[in-house]
A and B are shown apart, each in its own frame.
Chain A
Amino acid sequence: MSPWVHKQRNLLDFTLSSLSRRKGKTLGMMVVYTAIVFVLASVMLFSHAIRREAAVVLAKSPEVLVQRMVAGRHDLIPARHLEAVKGIRGVQSAEGRLWGYLFDPAAVANYTLMVPTNPRIEPGKVVIGDAVVRARSADPGDLMSFRAHDGALVQFRVDKTISRESALVSADLFLVSEEDFRRLFGIAPGLFTDLAISVRNPREVVKIAEKIDAALPDTRIILRDEILRTYESVFDWREGMLLVLLAGSILAFAIFSWEKASGLSAEEKREIGILKAVGWETSDVIRLKMLEGMVVSLSAFLVGYLLAYLHVFYFGAGLFEPVLKGWAVLYPKYKLTPFVDELQVATLFFFTVFPYTIATVVPIWRAAIVDPDTVMR
């Protein structure tokens, strides 16, 4: 083994034994450090996982959405617009979608109504999401009735429920047939909520959007990429906000580690004095102390990150949930897919280890320059 490695091993050995000689102090430092890493890592892991979830969900959505605007407000779109869109070269398929929201006074909640085209739902039947099941304690075969736009009663028989796996997107879903949808809201045939267009070549999406814009000036065109980008921005922003709010705690942590590192006991001072008396140099003492810091840092980082991982992916991130994901009456119950991102780990490292190291340099130096005779006297 090379002498360099040998030297580092001996230094590390010495470091570990000197840390274990001051159990209380080391443990106190570790607990605070781990807590800081835990809090920051939880925020990052959670917002990352939820962002990914959104991306996975949106990956299957149509490339282009076309909505009609009247006086700046979203309006129903006529079928002739659909024909115009279908005529554009490069459009693989286009269909009119019917969807909307329905307020249910019994559950005091809004359902998302949709008309699926594949497979179709028979008139009079309904397929409901997990949160609707919970809110109304409805089982397959039960009857649910709502007042239509003209006050008439419309009745649905629950056909089946949607499994909980896809709860993030399907929790408040209420899938009905086209006839029922039109009867419920009084929408005439030939009108749709919006148009969903799929494009074969992803590089043509922008061009096709331009063509639709030219052909149908009264419409608003929403690209899937735009939605994705917006989600990304929103979650980044929320995560960043929370981190800025937590900046105070990082600062407090830096002050705490400064204090801890400068409050040397007489015992420690004597130890350094003896080391210097037996021939250690100032730079060796600094290296020893930095190594101590590194051992504490890396262990705290690892433990904190692991705890955060458990917190987010096994315990639903109970501490930060409301801030990061927003709220609703029919909120889905779901488990996030575990995902660790390299950039995120690197960023977290910068947020915790860097301030700690900087904060401890001056106290370490102050300890290392003491003259042996003054402390041993």
Chain B
Amino acid sequence: MSEIKIEDLSKQIKGALILDKVSITLTSGKIYGLRGKNGSGKTMLMRAMAGLLIPDAGSVIINGKTLHKDISFPESIGILIENPSFLPQYTGFKNLKLLAGLTGGISDEEIRTALDRVGLDPEDKRTYRKYSLGMKQKLGIANAIMGEPDIIILDEPINALDEESVKKIKKVLLEIRDKDKLIIIACHDREELEYLSDIIYEIKDGSIVDRKEITNDNA
């Protein structure tokens, strides 16, 4: 059971207010959607939850531990923020293996499973630099879901993916959610976001302006 509690979170970058007193609580077993225009603050809110952004005011509390006070980063998290970036000279498997080595507790088998689930061949000998845009995106998702961490944050996960791959990713995300994991997604595609999400937050000018519960038959 994971919980992210955000209390009055504010952040300014170069004089511009990008997050303005955001307060939300997210719990596991659900997929949360973040919707808003470009520059509304979706990605920054995700970065703040991942421990990448240092708040000016307010706090992000993960399972009772305050980020940047009790912990530097969430203890079990997988993220894909904007364009994925990996070492170009290595294969997808090798890239994930290096990162799994840092995280600890993720076996080769789990890496292969993650790659397979997103539609990448774990035995593919091509290096990352030879990957297509869609393959790079899939590798980013595989990195976020490998080992099935308690919290998964995905910023525009279906960008550059074909229809079949989108279906596959949606299925994977719903499976992971049903294992009582907390998933947060930002997506421009309104239809896809509503299909995947249980709750959608609308963000405008760095503030949460709306919360909408979705009832659909994706379960």
Report whether chain A binds chain B: no
Show the binding face of A for B, using Cβ within 8 Å: none
Show the binding face of B for A, using Cβ within 8 Å: none
